Each structure stands twice: as C-alpha cells, then as structure tokens.
Amino acid sequence: MQGGRHLWVSRSASSNLSSSTTMVIVLDALFCHRSRTMEGKDGSPLNEVRVLCNSLMFHDGRLRADKSIKLSPAASVLKLQVGDEIRLNENDFRALGDASFAEIEATSV
C-alpha cells in the first residue's frame, strides 16, 4: 500500500538488506506525512529518500526512476544510477540522513 507508506519490503529484498539500507526506510517513515509541495520535485535529498524507499519496497532493491521527480545521479547524495542495486553502508546512510535533515531544516523555516 504505497499511499499509506507501510514498512513492508518483499521477502527477497528484505533478506539482502543491510541495516543501513533498512534505516533509509525508517528515515522516510519518520516524515511520511511531509508535504509533497514542501519537498518539491527537484531532486532534493528528500526526493532521493522517497525514490530509494519506493525502489526498496516495490522493486526488489534496484533503483527505479520516478517520473514525478527529477533525480540526477550526478547531483544526488549517493550518485546511484537507475537500475543500480541499493546497498548502503553506514557512511552512505549518514550522508543521506545529514542531507535530508538539512533539507528539512531549510524548508521548515
């Protein structure tokens, strides 16, 4: 159920996820009621988290494009390309989390 943002991951994907990768889903769930208008569609770190979570939950852990979000690999935090397997280490998660919280602070003022 994508609209409800339940923390569900397919069995095949969940058995291969690192704890840092799983934490991306938790990070997204913390802010599941955020406004899409405030988040924008310009490829921000919050957009990246949304795309990563949808890819983890619904596409067996491979990055999939979101037609409504302009996510450029070169400008993204993790630099992943469409089709890449999503595997984060602690440093990746820390960078993504820091960028996401900075974005939230910048847009919540």
pLDDT at 8: 42
Which range is most confident: 2-6, 50-54, 56-60, 78-82?
Answer: 78-82
Specify the higher pLDDT residue, 32 or 80: 80
In angstroms, the CA 80 to CA 54 distance is 14
Residue 61, Cβ density class (10 Å: 0-12 exposed, 13-18 middle, ≥19 buried): buried
Specify the higher pLDDT residue, 32 or 23: 23
- 27-65 per-position pLDDT tens digit: 887 776 666 666 667 889 999 999 999 899 899 899 999
pLDDT at 37: 62
Residue 86, Cβ density class (10 Å: 0-12 exposed, 13-18 middle, ≥19 buried): buried
Give the bridge partners for 62, in sequence order.
Answer: 85
Whether the Cβ atoms of residue 56 and residue 70 lie closer than 8 Å to each other: no
Give the number of C-alpha atoms closer than 13 A to the C-alpha of residue 41, restricted to the C-beta side: 8
- pLDDT > 50? residue 86: yes
